[in-house]
Amino acid sequence: MKDVTAVQDLTAKTTSSRVSDTSVSRRFLKPFAGESLSPPPMWLMRQAGRYLPEYRATRKEAGSFLDLCYNPKLAAEVTLQPIRRYGFDASILFSDILVVPDALGQRVTFAEGEGPRLQPIREVAGLARLSLSNAGEKFAIVWETVARLRQDLPKDTALIGFCGAPWTVATYMVEGQGSSDQGEARGWAYRDPAGFAQLIDILTDASIAYLPGQIKAGADVIQIFDSWAGSLAENQFQQWVVLPTARIVAALKAAHPEVPIIGFPKGAAAQLQHFVAGTNVDGVSCDTSCPLGVMQAVAARGTVAQGNLDPLLLVAGGAALDRRVDEILDAMTGKRFIFNLGHGIVPETPPEHVAQLVNRVRRNG
Amino acid sequence: MKDVTAVQDLTAKTTSSRVSDTSVSRRFLKPFAGESLSPPPMWLMRQAGRYLPEYRATRKEAGSFLDLCYNPKLAAEVTLQPIRRYGFDASILFSDILVVPDALGQRVTFAEGEGPRLQPIREVAGLARLSLSNAGEKFAIVWETVARLRQDLPKDTALIGFCGAPWTVATYMVEGQGSSDQGEARGWAYRDPAGFAQLIDILTDASIAYLPGQIKAGADVIQIFDSWAGSLAENQFQQWVVLPTARIVAALKAAHPEVPIIGFPKGAAAQLQHFVAGTNVDGVSCDTSCPLGVMQAVAARGTVAQGNLDPLLLVAGGAALDRRVDEILDAMTGKRFIFNLGHGIVPETPPEHVAQLVNRVRRNG
């Protein structure tokens, strides 16, 4: 509790630009109030990234990937780049889900062209390396980025803050890197559920300390990324995905009931209704494999559905891209819907295909 | 067509032991006839494998992994090993899904401790390397393994033949190895659907040439493994998973209507009913992330549901293993159900945990 209070004190010091613009009615937020828009609001996961030449230039200036995440001026700049090009309805804070373990004391590095690297924590003794009391300094850098963005973004552009869900962040902390089946984390969870629960609790507490600072600095919406939710058995999904996410949502709702929260339990389309009911999120991001019928069912029950174009179709472009965009729009017209990809934009994506997509959604949506 | 005929001629030469034992009533087959058994029939994916010391000994004798697949005596021996230890209701032919591209002319190697390696085929011109006309020789080696097994297996043990589904086999052929997102294959399918369809057609034809030989040699059941079905968008799932699988099922049903076919579209729990309806399979294998409610729904509609214990829980063992086994049994009692894992046994699995599992299913099922 002391840790959390220390972080909250830091939150208070972050410039808040929230109050000044609550009167602005951003169209991105309307589906959360029950409105269905034509065309639907849209943004794209990883819309700020390597596919954009201006991103690559800024990235070179910044140094390492994490240097960029911890540089409010440059992180704000790359966040704004896709907004300038495409005028998306929402921007998303440029950062990384591994800022949280890094801030907790498990240093994270990104080798060029490879994924993240961490010194793995594979048993409960390793948790002693983590401390929330020192995390606030790094969190505050991210909050400063958010505050800058709220000043610099067009007034009608929503700003999405985010974190990784405890389960997904834990998989990286336990594996020490990305993995194909999250076997080390799943194995620990079976072998020593009480010990693994301590790690999940630390990450849940850290998220509850981290996200309100993003909201106070100006985030309109929060998205919780659970990229590896799909690797879990049903009972483990309940324990490590639904319950920790529910705790984060409850804490945010208690302090900021007006801020919509989007969950993204990737690979768990068969459990989407259960996830929504169990976590109380306001929206769910649907991955590419999620059937449109599932998205329709989610939206019909009053939850915003977001998704789910295949990022690889955006690489391919052409008439097939247009056709699939139209199929998604046809299925979701008149529903609580936000157009997005099913996963992040890949670096090989031609920027002109993104322009094609944006035009198509705006014209046919 | 000429290719297929050549392969079928070879099939006829394979010793057939099928006729001699059709009178035996194997309990594994009863759920396909609408019976629910207590305890349910059980087998485990990859039940013959590295977790068993006797497998490791035989493997050393054989040479490379593919050498073992192409050695009927030793392949039959490793198939029998888990039957001797645990008395499963079904054995599964020891082989690999990549026998098919290897037989078609795209040579496959397995580096020790790594996955398969193939010279990738990434455009339609590369398909010229493939030919079904020479495939029969390698197929016939596998058929000989099946015929040996049918002679050597206990009479009441069912024998499962198998192949990889065209989509999943194609991903390895296009990537040249395993991959986390099947991006190369998915990209080709978007970029050049007509060209990619040629590859899928070659694999579908090859499967239709390959599987009847397994049946004629003595396989009671066929399982079609589609390990990467879950990476596809809904419309791509229909095109590359459902339709090719349906064509294989139709061809097998035309010649061997009595042989049940199990599909395994891994990672596609949200599309399981659609998969069943579209392919006409008799059973579906359900991965670990598939909710028990989905398995119940599948079984309630007259399809056999197979699954879905987490292989990592089998590594962990203990009371948690017993509890989850009981949950699965409770959910599936009285249904058309086969107990299995959600994915293959991993090498770290203690053989005594498998014994614990078998005892639990037999006692509480």
pLDDT for position A6 = 52
| Beta-carbon contacts of residue B323 (< 8 Å; ≥ 6 apart) | none
CATH code for the domain defined by B2-12+28-364: 3.20.20.210
pLDDT for position B6 = 52
Q: Is A186 a catalytic residue?
A: no
**Residue for token digits 């709220």?**
A150
Look up residue A209 and give its two tokens: 């300390």
3-state secondary structure of B163: strand
3-state secondary structure of A116: strand
pLDDT for position B2 = 44
Question: Cα–Cα distance between A169 and A163 in angstroms, integer?
Answer: 9
Pick from A191, A271, A288: CB nearest B233: A288
Pairing of strands A261-265, A283-285: parallel
The active-site residue, picked from A26, A172, A226, A247, is: A172
A325 and A361 Cβ atoms separated by less than 8 Å: yes
Closest CA to A199 of A171, A224, A225, A179: A171
| Beta-carbon contacts of residue B276 (< 8 Å; ≥ 6 apart) | B263, B284, B298, B301, B303
Question: Cα–Cα distance between A227 and A263 in angstroms, integer?
Answer: 10
Question: Cα–Cα distance between A340 and A88 in angstroms, integer?
Answer: 10
Answer whether A193 touches B (CB < 8 Å).
Answer: yes
Sheet of B337-341, strands arranged across: B90-92, B158-164, B221-226, B261-265, B283-285, B304-309, B337-341
A184 to chain B: closest CA residue: B312
Main-chain dihedrals φ then ψ at residue A43, nearest 5 degrees: -150, 170
A27 and A159 Cβ atoms separated by less than 8 Å: no
**Residue for token digits 């049946």?**
B215
A261 and A252 Cβ atoms separated by less than 8 Å: yes
Question: Cα–Cα distance between B274 and B255 in angstroms, integer?
Answer: 25
Burial track A97-118 (b if 16+ CB lie within 10 A, e otherwise)? bbbbbbbbebebebeeeeebbb
3-state secondary structure of B50: coil
pLDDT for position A31 = 97
| Mutant choice from B226, B240, B289, B325 vs A, greatest count of A C-beta within 10 A | B289
**Cα radius of gyration rounded to whole Å, chain A:** 19
DSSP line for B337-363: EEEEESSPPPTT--HHHHHHHHHHHHH
CB contact under 8 Å between B346 and A193, yes or no, is: no
3-state secondary structure of B226: strand
A288 to chain B: closest CA residue: B233
Please give the distance of CA A189 from its chain centroid, rounded to a whole number. Answer: 24
pLDDT for position B19 = 43
Main-chain dihedrals φ then ψ at residue B40, nearest 5 degrees: -65, 155
A295 to chain B: closest CA residue: B270
Look up residue B347 and give its two tokens: 């090498």
pTM: 0.94
Question: Cα–Cα distance between B312 and A325 in angstroms, integer?
Answer: 39
Question: Cα–Cα distance between B248 and B264 in angstroms, integer?
Answer: 14
Contacts within 8 Å (CB) and 24+ apart, B301-305: B301/B273, B301/B276, B302/B34, B302/B336, B303/B276, B303/B336, B304/B31, B304/B32, B304/B260, B304/B262, B304/B336, B304/B337, B304/B338, B305/B332, B305/B335, B305/B336, B305/B337, B305/B338
CB contact under 8 Å between B271 and A291, yes or no, is: yes
H/E stretch holding B305 reads: strand B304-309
The active-site residue, picked from B18, B172, B205, B360, is: B172
Answer whether B242 touches A (CB < 8 Å).
Answer: no
Main-chain dihedrals φ then ψ at residue B228, nearest 5 degrees: -110, 20
Question: Cα–Cα distance between A13 and A140 in angstroms, integer?
Answer: 9
| Beta-carbon contacts of residue A167 (< 8 Å; ≥ 6 apart) | A185, A200, A226, A228, A229, A232, A240, A241, A244
Answer whether A310 touches B (CB < 8 Å).
Answer: yes
3-state secondary structure of A21: helix
CB contact under 8 Å between B237 and A289, yes or no, is: yes
CATH code for the domain defined by A2-364: 3.20.20.210
Main-chain dihedrals φ then ψ at residue A42, nearest 5 degrees: -145, 145
A270 and A248 Cβ atoms separated by less than 8 Å: no
Distance from CA of A340 to the nearest CA of B (A): 14
Q: Which portions of chain B are predicted below pLDDT 70? A: 1-24
Name chain B contacts of A315, Cβ cutoff 8 Å: 187, 190
CB contact under 8 Å between B288 and A316, yes or no, is: no
C-alpha dist (Å) from residue A202 to A1, A130, B338: 11, 8, 40
Helices (H), A153-285: 166-175, 183-191, 193-217, 234-237, 243-255, 272-279
Q: At what angle do helices A193-217 and A166-175 cross, to 10 degrees?
A: 120
Q: Is B96 a catalytic residue?
A: yes
B295 to chain A: closest CA residue: A270
| Beta-carbon contacts of residue A197 (< 8 Å; ≥ 6 apart) | none
| Beta-carbon contacts of residue A63 (< 8 Å; ≥ 6 apart) | none
**Cα radius of gyration rounded to whole Å, chain B:** 19
Distance from CA of B306 to the nearest CA of A (A): 15
Answer whether B269 touches A (CB < 8 Å).
Answer: yes
CB contact under 8 Å between A289 and B268, yes or no, is: yes
Main-chain dihedrals φ then ψ at residue A222, nearest 5 degrees: -120, 135
Q: Chunked in runs of 10, what are the mean pLDDT values of chain A (365 residues)? A: 51 47 77 94 97 97 94 98 98 98 96 89 96 96 98 97 98 95 97 98 98 98 98 98 98 98 98 97 98 97 97 97 98 96 97 98 92
Name chain A contacts of B291, Cβ cutoff 8 Å: 234, 270-271, 274
Torsion of CA A110, A114, A115, A120, to 10 degrees: -80
A341 and A305 Cβ atoms separated by less than 8 Å: no
Pick from B187, B290, B342: CB nearest A270: B290
Task: Look at the alpha carbons of B19, B20, B25, B30 in this order and tell me if their dihedral is positive or negative.
Answer: negative
The active-site residue, picked from A18, A26, A59, A247, is: A59
| Beta-carbon contacts of residue A256 (< 8 Å; ≥ 6 apart) | A212, A215
Pairing of strands B304-309, B261-265: unpaired
Answer whether A236 touches B (CB < 8 Å).
Answer: yes
pLDDT for position B342 = 98
Domain residue spans of chain B = 2-12+28-364
